[in-house]
Structure 1
Amino acid sequence: MLRIVNRVLLGVTGLALVLLGGSVLAVGLGASPPSWWIHDGRHDVLVSDADRARWRDEGWFWPVVIAGLAVLVLLALWWLVAVLRRRRLAEVIVDTGDGEGALLRGRAMEGVLADEAGRLDGVQRAQVQLTGRRNGPEARVQLLLEPHADPGHALHSVTTRALAHARDSAGLSTLPAEVRLRGAKHRAERVS
């Protein structure tokens, strides 16, 4: 979803900047602007002294303009952080043997891997996150173990079964993984 929003925002922003910048450049190079255009000619400014003075008596105008620009800057920074923080791997390249490969959704692989790890003996719940590159993914696995579970056995099972199946199914030579184990709290019953 973030990828679609990102592409739409980039496209709309880029188109607006190209149209506005191109038209300002054309007027600056000597093209005659249309009657409705914001500039009258090459030596015209965006906000004239008369426009700035016209709003001087309105106490609300400049704070609203500054607040609007501040909101735009904050939204742009949020968007930049969201794009840079993409930790999850969106797609994994699957070797199909024909030299081209196929794309497997990262969330689908995470779901299958978490489901298989969650069905192992002694595992109450499993969460998986794929990171890294499309042709070299890495897995971060978090296991919530039952109170009676042996951590060594659970770790061995997840590496030899769930991670091995995911690696082989995707046609990967390796699938490095970081597995974190956490024990579930045992609920003691009160006896009266």
Structure 2
Amino acid sequence: MLRIVNRVLIGIIGLALVALGGSVLAVGLGVRPPSWWIHDGRHDVLLSDAERTRWRDHGWWWPTVIAVLAVLVLLALWWLAAVLRRRRLTEVLVDTGDGQGALLRGRALEGVLAAEAGQLDGVDHAQVLLTGRRGTPEARVQLLLEPHVDPGHALHLLTAEALAHARDSAGLAALPAEVRLRGVKHRAERVS
């Protein structure tokens, strides 16, 4: 629902800005505007000298204008960051086999997948993040490997066991994964 609201708001704001900018450009290029339009002709300004200097003598005017514009810029940046941020998948659609389906919490599947990956031979720690859509989730897996482990073998165990179990138990056709492998860095210890 939030995604739909964001798209509708972005569409409305975009259309308004394109219409306003296009009309100002058209008036600037010499198109005769309607009588009710805010500009009279190509040499007209947005704010006349009288309108611009009307509040100059009031000490509250310019700090208020600057504060309101700063708040609007901060809100626009916050909204842009919220829209562009990759979100964690909250639920996964599980095929129950009867044509219906069930919803599984994304964090539950992440936890089970991380626990199973963490128990693999040579894996010190595992983290899992699910992204994508609820019908086609994608996994981001980070494995912290022990120093003696072959990374290829650890990757094979992850795909053949943990990811395959998660895919099969959720009834997914595929579970693509981006896997990042890192080695454990042990601190040097003094041996006597």
TM range (shorter): 0.5 to 0.7
Matched with 1:89 is 89
Counterpart for residue 144 of structure 2:
144
Question: How far apart, in 2, do the equivalents of 1:123 and 1:74 lie?
Answer: 43
1:125 aligns with 2:125: yes
Q: Tell me which amino acid in the other structure corresponds to 1:121.
A: D
Which residue in 1 is equivalent to 2:63? Answer: 63
Alpha-carbon distance in 1 for matches of 2:108, 2:72: 35
Letter in 1 for 2:94: V
Residue identity (%): 78
State the 1:166 CA deviation: 0.7
Q: Does 1:79 align with 2:75?
A: no
Q: Name the Cα RMSD after superposition.
A: 2.9
SS at 1:185 equivalent: coil
Indicate the larger mover: 118-127 or 163-172.
118-127
Partner of 2:179: 179
C-alpha distance in 2 between matches for 1:83 and 1:112:
29
Query: For 2:87 and 2:132, how far apart are their aligned partners in 1?
Result: 8
Q: Provide the rounded CA distance (Å) in 2 between the counterparts of 1:67 and 1:113.
A: 48
Shift of 1:80: 2.6
Matched letter for residue 161 of structure 2:
R
The one-letter code of the counterpart of 1:144 is L
- Greater Cα shift, 75-84 or 122-131: 75-84
Q: CA–CA distance in 2 between the matches of 1:90 and 1:135?
A: 12
Tell me how far apart the structure 2 counterparts of residues 127 and 91 of structure 1 sit (CA, whole Å): 18
Structure 1 unmatched runs, 5+: 15-48
| 1:157 alignment partner in structure 2 | 157
- CA deviations on 1:13-40 (whole Å, 9 max, x unpaired) are x9xxxxxxxxxxxxxxxxxxxxxxxxxx
Say if 2:110 is the partner of 1:110: yes
For residue 125 of structure 1, report the CA deviation from its aligned partner. 1.1
Once the two structures are TM-superposed, the CA of residue 142 in structure 1 deviates from its matched residue by 0.8
Unaligned runs of 5+ in 2: 10-49
**Partner-residue secondary structure (3-state), 2:86:** coil
TM-score normalised per structure 2 = 0.66
Aligned-partner Cα distance in 2 for 1:69–1:146: 53
| Deviation (angstroms), 1:175 | 0.9
Q: Which residue of 1 aligns with 2:101?
A: 101
User: Tell me, what secondary structure is at the counterpart of 2:75?
Assistant: helix
Tell me which amino acid in the other structure corresponds to 2:119.
R
Q: Report the secondary structure of 2:76's partner residue.
A: helix
> 2 CA distance for matches of 1:112 and 1:61?
58
Tell me how many residue pairs correspond in the alignment.
151
Q: Distance in 1 between matches of 2:83 and 2:91?
A: 16
CA-to-aligned-CA distance 1:142-167 (integer Å, 9 cap, x gap): 10111222322221221111111110
96 and 113 in structure 1: CA distance in 2 versus 1, 3 angstrom threshold: same
Q: TM-score, normalised by structure 1?
A: 0.66
Cα distance in 1, alignment partners of residues 191 and 103 from structure 2? 56
Please state how far the C-alpha of 1:141 moved relative to its aligned partner.
0.8
Stretch of structure 1 that moved more, 157-166 or 66-75: 66-75
